[in-house]
Amino acid sequence: MEWRSILEGVRTCGLRGVAPHELQAFSYTLSSHGLMLAPLEESARENGYASARRSARLGNPFSYWCAIGRASDVELLTSAHLRRDDQEIGRMLGYPSCCTSFFMRACVDADFMDVTWPMAHNTANKRTISPTHIEISEVSKCNVLLRWIGVRNVFHLPCSFDCRPTAEIADKLVEIALADGFRREMDWLEEMSAWPVEWSALYGLAEITTPVGVIYTVTDATAETHRVSYKGEARLAPTT
C-alpha cells in the first residue's frame, strides 16, 4: 500500500523501512512500475510499529529508511528530509495539513512520543469524563490505537478521532486494497478498528486493552493515570 497508493495518485511519495537483503528485489519491483527507491538513512530493525526510529548500531540488525516515488519526487523528498522540513515531508506523503501541523505541535514542539492523549484531547466529538479521562463514543476510521500491532487505516498519525480528511484518505486506501484483492484483510481491518479499546497510561507505560488481549508499550510519563476509552462496537466478547 505504501507504493500502490502512489501509483493511484493518493500521494506523491512514501516512506518505509527495507531490510538490506530485500533492497535489490524491492527496487526491481518498483522500477517495473515507474517508481524508484532511495535509502535516506540506516535505522535499527524494528519487529513492529515504533513511535520513533532508533539509530542503527554497529553489528546489530538494521533497515534502510527509504523514500519511494517517481525520480523527481524522490529527489524533492530527500531534500526535505535533509532539511528536516516536516511540513514539506507531510505534504509529499499525502498527509492532511491539519495532521502535519498537529504532529509538529505535539511531537516536535511539545515532545510527545505517543500522540494518543493529545489526539483524543483534540477530538471535537468526545466526552470528557475527568481531566485525565476522555471517551470516544463513535467508531472512527482515524482510530490508530492498535497501530502497535500493525492495525491502522492510514499511514499517518491523525490529529483527532474525527479528522474528516483522514477518513477520506482511509476510504481511498481501502478502495485500492479491495481492487488489489485484499478483501479479507480489509474486513479484518474494519472489524478490529471497531473493537472497544481502553488505553491507559501511567509512569511511561501504556496498557491497551482489547477484546482479545492486552498490548503493553512505552508512552509519555505521567504521575497519574490517563485514560482514553474508545467505545467502538462490542462485536467480540472480552477474553477471560
Q: Which of 21-30, 34-43, 55-64, 198-207 has the lowest mean pLDDT?
A: 55-64
What is the chain's mean pLDDT, rounded? 92
Looking at residue 51, its pLDDT comes to 59
Cell of 163: 479528522
Residues 110 and 221 in one domain: yes
Residues 45 and 118 in one domain: no
Question: Is the pLDDT score of 238 beyond 50?
Answer: no
Q: How confident is the model at residue 160 (pLDDT cuts 50, 70, 90)?
A: very high
Residues 107 and 200 in one domain: yes
Looking at residue 115, its pLDDT comes to 96
Residues 80 and 102 in one domain: no
Residues 164 and 119 in one domain: yes
Mean pLDDT of 171-178: 97
Q: Select from 62, 94, 126 the last residue of a domain.
A: 94
Which whole-number Å values give the CA distances from 147 to 5, 24, 151, 239, in the listed order? Answer: 19, 28, 5, 20
Report the domain count for the chain.
Answer: 2
Give me the phi and psi of 41, to 5 degrees please: -165, 165
Q: Where are the alpha helices (DSSP H) in the chain?
A: 4-7, 23-31, 71-83, 86-92, 97-103, 116-121, 164-179, 183-193
Which pLDDT tens digit goes with each residue over 74-99?
999 999 999 999 999 999 999 999 99
Residues 59 and 125 in one domain: no
Q: How confident is the model at residue 239 (pLDDT cuts 50, 70, 90)?
A: very low
Mean pLDDT of 139-168: 96
Q: Which domain holds residue 122?
A: 96-240
Question: Is the pLDDT score of 240 beyond 50?
Answer: no
Closest by alpha carbon to 30, among 10, 41, 47, 16?
A: 16
CA distance 45 to 54: 8
Which pLDDT tens digit goes with each residue over 178-187?
999 999 999 9
Beta-sheet pairing, 36-44 with 62-69: antiparallel
Which pLDDT tens digit goes with each residue over 47-69?
666 656 666 677 777 889 999 99
Q: Which of 19-33, 47-61, 90-104, 193-207 has the lowest mean pLDDT?
A: 47-61
Residues 164 and 240 in one domain: yes
Mean pLDDT of 25-51: 85
Residues 11 and 23 in one domain: yes
Q: Select from 71, 94, 117 the last residue of a domain.
A: 94
Q: Select from 78, 94, 110 the last residue of a domain.
A: 94
Looking at residue 60, its pLDDT comes to 75
CA distance 160 to 138: 12
Closest by alpha carbon to 174, among 159, 157, 152, 195?
A: 152
Residues 119 and 1 in one domain: no
Residues 127 and 21 in one domain: no
**C-alpha gyration radius of the chain:** 18
Looking at residue 143, its pLDDT comes to 97
Dihedral sign (CA 200, 102, 160, 73): negative
Residues 69 and 149 in one domain: no
Residues 37 and 121 in one domain: no
Q: Are 156 and 104 in contact (CB under 8 A)?
A: no
Looking at residue 237, its pLDDT comes to 47
